[in-house]
Structure formats: structure tokens, C-alpha cells
Amino acid sequence: MNVSTFAMHMSDGIVDAPTSAIFAVLAAAGLAVAAWRARAELDERAAPMAGLVAAFIFAVQMVNFPILPGVSGHLLGGALAAILVGPYVGALCVAIVLVVQALLFADGGLSALGTNITNMALIGVGAGYLVARGLLPVFARRGGIGVVAFAAALIGTLCAALGFVLEYAIGGAAGSTLGAVTGYMLITHALIGVGEGLITALTVVAVAEARPDLVYLLRSSGAPRVSLNAFLFGFAAAAVLVAGALSYLASSQPDGLDATTQRGCTVVAEQLEGECIAQRAEEHGLADSPLADYTIGGDAALTGIAGILGVAATFAVLFALVRVLKPSRSRAG
């Protein structure tokens, strides 16, 4: 199997076809519920805010950070989305990020899209939100939204990792025992969760300081420090900066999931040699697409431009989706 430098999500073949189908149905059902329930959370600012949250998550996911020798991690974004725009809109945000990554950037298998959405958009968002809601009364009076965000992101990351463990237990490819997979996934994702927690806490605190009224978890009417247009422009600029510039600083090492599936193999000239789960992974059906592996025509020097295109695409899809959902609410009223 060829090893992709920027791949961040589960590939096709890691779990068998029946398991992939089961979780594809589960993901579709979960997103249908999220779309239906999201209508009650939408107001005039929801479309741009949701689009920017999704775009920011896409951008930050490009910046893998080292956690162990030879292993990296990246933002999952579940708790961040849930805290900023709510669990239902948040699930849609993370799901659209995954769809854009799979269809435009050949990241995350096409048949594995259901498992990736289940783990990151449903489990990660749901667990992160429940933890945040549970901790908020304890820390709210002390201005501890950052602590709440950190804990929610850490636990949400571990829960998402356990989603993969469940899928592997049901229909995983041969190459490693369930105990080894579970242990390594939890170790790596505990470390990833620390990074995720820091990113989530810093982002949530920054948004809460500038526009507390835009933080879903707080549902605050506190006086904003900047105008809405200035905030939205700043948020968009941050996403573009991360995707367009900071992405060049990303670690080239496999992330926690890929490192787990590659245990037992060695990488020689971008090929896996040995016996490991990843040997059963299949080539992405869109591996020859122009933006595959977050490049343009295979040119890694253009990763920043590819990232900006991804930010724009993610924002556009989420913005359009929210605009489609909103009128049905208006007519229902």
C-alpha cells in the first residue's frame, strides 16, 4: 500500500464492507436527525457562523502536530463545533468537513465515510457537548469556559477513538489484536486530546471574549467587543491563514489512527512492508483527483493554495446547507 503524507482519516478496507455499510446507515440517520433538530437552532447569524466553524475546523485539521516519535495528531473538532454552534449544527459542520476531504482531497475512504462521520461528527460532537454541558455549571461562575472546552475536547477525542475500536471489533481487517488496537488508540488519542483541548480552549475563549453571544454553549447576551462583520472577517482570515500558511508546518508523520493501523509494518519508499492492518487498506477511488493529498496536481509546494480552496469549499457547502434548512423553519412558523 502507498502511504499518503496528509491522509488523516480511516481508509477503505480497514473494516469490512458489511461493517462499513452498517455505519454508513447509522451516519446517514444521525445526520438526518441533526439536520431536523438544527432548524430550531438557526437564526440570522447561523449560516455564516456555521460555515466559518466548519472552514476553521478544515483548516486546523491540516496542521498535524507531533505527539510521539513517529506519530502525530490533528484536531477532530467535535467539541469545538458543539460549543460554538450547538450539537446538531456542529455535527453537520464536522460531517461536511469530512465529505469535502473525502471527495475533493481523497482523504478518508469513500466506503469509510460513514465510519468517519460516526466517529467524529456523531460520537465526537455528542460526547464533547455532553461533557461541556455537564461541566459548565461547575466552572461558569469562575469564567472557566476554557477549562470546560479543554475537558470536553479531550474526552470527545477519546470517545471518537473508541468508535473506531468498536468498528474494528465488529469487522476489522486482520493484522493486530483488539487489545493492542484499543491500547494504542487510547494512548495516542489521549495525547492528541491534550492538543485538541488546547486548540479548542484557545479558540472558544477567543470567540467568547470577542462575541459571547455567538457561543452556543453560553447562550449569552453579553456585550460584544467587536462588530459582527469584524468578527466574521477575523474568523475567516484565521482559517485562511492556518490553511494557507501554517499547513506547511504540519508534521509528516502518520496520525494516531494511521499509526495504529501501521503497527507491525515499516515504510520503505512510501510503501508499507510487513504485516499490519493498513496492508488491507485500499487505494482511494479519487486518488488521481487534482487536489488529492492536499496538493494541486501532486505539487506539495501548492498545499497552501489547496488548503484555501478547501476552506472556501467547506464554507460554501455549509453556508448553503444552513440556508436551505432555514426557510423550512420560517414556513413552519
DSSP one-letter string for 107-141: -S-STTHHHHIIIIIIIIHHHHHHHHHHHHHHHGG
The answer as to whether 6 is a domain residue is no
Supply angle C-alpha 24, 113, 97, rounded to 5: 125
* One-character DSSP codes across 70-103: TEEE----HHHHHHHH-HHHHHHHHHHHHHHHHH
Q: Give the model's pLDDT for residue 316.
A: 94
Cβ atoms within 10 Å, residue 52: 27
Q: How many CB atoms lie within 10 A of CB 127?
A: 24
AA letter at 319:
F
Number of domains in the chain: 1
Rounded Cα–Cα distance for residues 175 and 164 (Å): 15
Whether residue 165 contacts residue 123, with contact meaning beta carbons closer than 8 Å, is answered with no
Spatial separation of the C-alpha atoms in residues 226 and 126, rounded to whole Å: 30
Going by C-alpha positions, the residue among 331, 321, 329, 333 that lies closest to residue 43 is 329
Domain membership of residue 3 (yes or no) is no
DSSP reduced 3-state for 15? strand
| Residues in CB range of 178: below 8 A, 6 or more apart | 165, 168, 169, 172
Residue 7 lies in a domain: no
DSSP H stretches of helix in 172-227: 178-210
| Assigned domain for 10 exists | no
Instruction: Output the pLDDT for position 333.
Output: 42
108: in domain = yes
Asked if residue 45 belongs to a domain, the reply is yes
- Give the pLDDT score at 143: 67
Block residue for cell numbers 460531517: 95
Answer whether residue 1 is part of any domain.
Answer: no
Q: Per the structure block, which three cell numbers stand in for 238?
A: 484565521
Indicate if the alpha-carbon torsion angle 85, 91, 94, 99 is positive or negative: negative
> Does 272 reside within a domain?
yes
At 328, which CATH number? 1.10.1760.20
Residue carrying C-alpha cell 496538493:
295
- pTM, two decimal places: 0.93
- Whole domain around residue 258: which residue ranges? 17-332
Per-residue pLDDT of the chain (333 residues; tens, 9 = 90+): 444 444 568 888 899 999 999 999 999 999 999 999 998 877 767 788 999 999 999 999 999 999 999 899 999 999 999 999 999 999 999 999 999 999 999 998 899 999 999 999 999 999 999 999 999 988 876 569 999 999 999 999 999 999 999 999 999 877 778 999 999 999 999 999 999 999 999 999 999 999 998 999 987 766 788 999 999 999 999 999 999 999 999 998 989 999 998 888 887 767 777 888 888 888 888 989 999 999 999 899 999 999 999 999 999 999 899 888 875 444 444
Q: Cell numbers 467535535 correspond to what residue?
A: 78
